[in-house]
Chains A and B, each alone.
Chain A
Amino acid sequence: MDGLRVEGLGKQYGDVAAVRDLSFTVPCGEIVGLLGPNGAGKTTTLHTLAGLVHPTSGRAYLDGMPIEQQKALIGFVPEQPEVFPLLTVEEHLGFVARAYDLPDGWQETGQGILRRLHLEDVADRVGGALSKGMKQKLLIACALLHQPKLMLVDEPMVGLDPAGQRELVEALREIRSGGAAILLSTHMLQSAEEICDRFLILQRGRLIAQGTLEEITAQSASLQEAFLGLTEGA
């Protein structure tokens, strides 16, 4: 049941502690929701795990190996849907295939992903001409192409239309059933409730609560109520 294991992760920006002593696990075949108010350290945590930010302290492991040695097994979907403005949708997939050294046949996988995310009609359109939601879908497609063992997803629902959100939820469930671990940061508690197996709640860089939906909402009527109670009371 390997997967992601984070031990004492911390990130300091000058005198600002963005993340403090964070320890948690995301086992294979689970979707873990990373919740917290603005500035809680969710994005910094994901950036640290994705290799965008160097941690000040702590380590992270994927399948027992240091995460920085397992980059080929990670898929990352950032919050800001930034794509290469002059590359077509297909060329984005071509770049990812080369970056991950995927064997021949990735084209079919890519076509399947594009079809699933309703991007096949815009496959020859350049990134700069896509809408925000389409860019978001493209980044999701890029993250899925190499069939990662760990998906790091930052606010994936933002910018997606309801159909896109449904497709994304289904895609994430499918990846989970394939045995991947998924760490998902979101503000959309209703969607999180629907999709996540467990939750981590951050406040000012610290982990203030974690557990399943039942455990988190043991003394509350809903996840939202529990979330507000925890974060406003902390």
Chain B
Amino acid sequence: MRGYRALLYLEWRTLRAQLRQLARSRGRLAVYVLVAAYLVFILSEGRQGMPHFSHAASIYGLGLWLVFLGVGAIGGRRRLLARPADLALVVPSAIAPDRIVVWALVRQAVSQLRLLVIVAVFWVPQMAQSGGVDWGSLLYAVALTLVAAMAVRHILLGLGRWGRPLRYLMLLALAGLLLFAGSALLRGGVADLAAAISHLWPVALAVAALHGYPLGLALLGIAAILLLLAMVALAPRIVRLGVDWSALPVLAGRRGLVARPAGAPSGQVGSRARRRRYRRHDWPGRGDYALFGVELARLYRTLWPTTALLIAAAWLAAGVAGTFARPRGVPWEVVPGFVAYIMLLTGAAVASMNFSQILATPLWAQTPGPIGKKLLAWFLPGACVTGLGWAGVAGGWLIGMGETAIALWSLPLALALMCLVRAVGLLGWAMLPNALDQRGIAVWLRFLVTILATAIAAGFFAGAFALAGFAAGAVAGSLSALAEAYLCLQLSELRIRAMDFVRPSEGRA
């Protein structure tokens, strides 16, 4: 247990330091008070669930979240060794490598749990009020999902290069499953879908567990224990396979550009031919706009090819799903839910969680030009790339349904909304720039703010749509979203202008 004792000491001391830092910051405490107030409100006695928020829809929403978490764990670019000091102090130490692997994976799982807090806060009150799911069962199912995802990630890592194509296949299968479930929901109605899935094994098992039935809980528990044991048993294999520890934390870094060490997860630029194309490419942006090129290059490296593959598959699947749904017409009632889901899904991922690192790079400090343009260079390409992905999905579905005009009008709306989400995220960072405010419970506040901000654009969309149709709604929604985004950008600029580009952390323990 020598290694684990040292690693536990490391985690405990880190947690203690984080709590101390939290206690010292009034701004950060305010965030916790706000979230606590929200929790009290949402869990208060006698409060009804959201209107039109049926039990089956809750299950469906929860299912989407679980799939999302699974995708994140399997296909995400999360680093196995998240802290640079791990390489200096943990890996070369006397701690056995297989213990370090297990510790790193467990730490990743714990980090994912932070996201699950948001799931619980958002979904559970609704589900509890619609009379179906108890907290314990929900947490149990969530823990199982995490364990399964971590085990799969572990196995993929252990398979080295062979794990890569398998990972894509799994991600594609998950995306397909998601879209199939979505189209089934739209075709058959919520109740029908719930009835249908409850008769499918192993879905029936999961549903049974969510309802607290002992058999479901027991069987899923056994599966979770087996997966955990498999994880631990596989740890030495990963070590024997020769994973290069030093390559793991620099997935998209320069080393990855030169060569991909055997066994390291993807995230590198890839084939030699593609690298050559990348180097030849004359990236756009000169002078004040030079950072646009940098950001595009970064997106090219980090998004390609997994995301591109997923987006292409999702577009295709959405088209197919739309064709299935054609006879029923456009189900407008699901649009707000769809938009909210996209916001929730992408809010944390594309917003400014890592902005402090970008701000600290010499490129930011040294390149000429006003900060506003630098901010624009950071957030616009990312918003467009993400927006195109989701607009493509919606567009594919709508074109499949024969609603080409609506699909075309949806494109600027999706792009504008993504700009807004990213700008709100940036403003969130500018208001609370400390690293501790980029994770944990503060993420929940970001979600709330993001949803509230998009509600304004949604209101403009709805008003114009009611008066003059979808095209007018799309124009009004896009313009209001862009205006909001611009405002957020201006406020962020004001805040960032007063900051030091490199921020030392607090001094004493």
Q: Using a CB–CB distance below 8 Å, which chain A residues touch chain B? A: 13-16, 47, 50-54, 71-72, 74, 76, 78, 80-88, 91-92, 94-96, 98-101, 124-129, 139, 142, 146
Contact of A14 among B259, B507, B509 (CB under 8 A): B259
Q: Contact at A51–B244, with CB atoms within 8 Å?
A: no
Candidates A15, A83, A99, A125; contact of B507 at CB < 8 Å: A125
A76 and B92 within 8 A (CB): yes
Are B89's CB and A92's CB within 8 A? yes
Q: Are A126 and B246 in contact (CB under 8 A)?
A: no
The DSSP consensus for interface residues of chain A is mixed
Q: Which A residues lie within 8 Å of B17 (CB)?
A: 86-87, 126
Contacts of A14 in B (CB 8 A): 258-261
Total A-B residue contacts, Cβ distance less than 8 Å:
126
**For window 241-270 of chain B, which residues contact chain A by CB distance below 8 Å?**
242-247, 255, 258-263
**Residue interface bits B495-509, CB-to-A below 8 A is 1, else 0:** 000000000111111
Query: Is the CB–CB distance between A87 and B14 below 8 Å?
Result: yes
Our pick among B13, B89, B263 for the contact of A96 (Cβ within 8 Å) is B89
**Shortest distance between the CB of A27 and any CB in chain B (Å):** 22
| A104: min CB distance to chain B, Å | 15
Query: Is A71's CB under 8 angstroms from B244's CB?
Result: no
Residues of B within 8 A of A98 (CB): 2, 5-6, 9
Residue of A53, A80, A84, A94 near B83 (CB, 8 A) is A84
Which B10-38 residues sit within 8 Å CB-CB of chain A?
10, 13-14, 17-18, 21
Is B10 within 8 A of A84, CB to CB?
yes
Given A16-B259, A87-B14, A99-B3 in contact, is the A53-B246 Cβ separation under 8 Å? yes
A13 pairs with B508, CB closer than 8 A: no
**Which residue of chain B has the shortest Cβ distance to A81 in the bound complex?**
B88
Query: Across the two chains, which residue of chain A brings its CB closest to B249?
Result: A82
Min CB distance A112 to B, Å, is: 20
Whether A51 contacts B92 by the Cβ 8 Å rule is yes
Shortest 7 CB-CB contacts between residues of A and residues of B: A54-B242, A13-B259, A14-B259, A128-B505, A98-B6, A86-B17, A82-B84
B477 beta carbon closer than 8 Å to chain A: no
Contact present for A47 and B261 (CB under 8 Å): no
Stretch binding the partner chain, chosen from B93-101, B289-297, B419-427: B93-101
Cβ-based interface call for B272 (8 A):
yes
Chain B residue numbers with a CB within 8 Å of A85 are 85, 505
Q: Is the CB of B85 within 8 A of A84?
A: yes
Our pick among A54, A88, A91, A99 for the contact of B244 (Cβ within 8 Å) is A54
Most chain A CB neighbours (cut-off 10 Å) among B89, B90, B255, B504: B89
Please pick, from B6, B85, B94, B244, the residue contacting A72 in the complex, using a CB distance under 8 A: B94
B2 touches A13 (CB 8 A): no
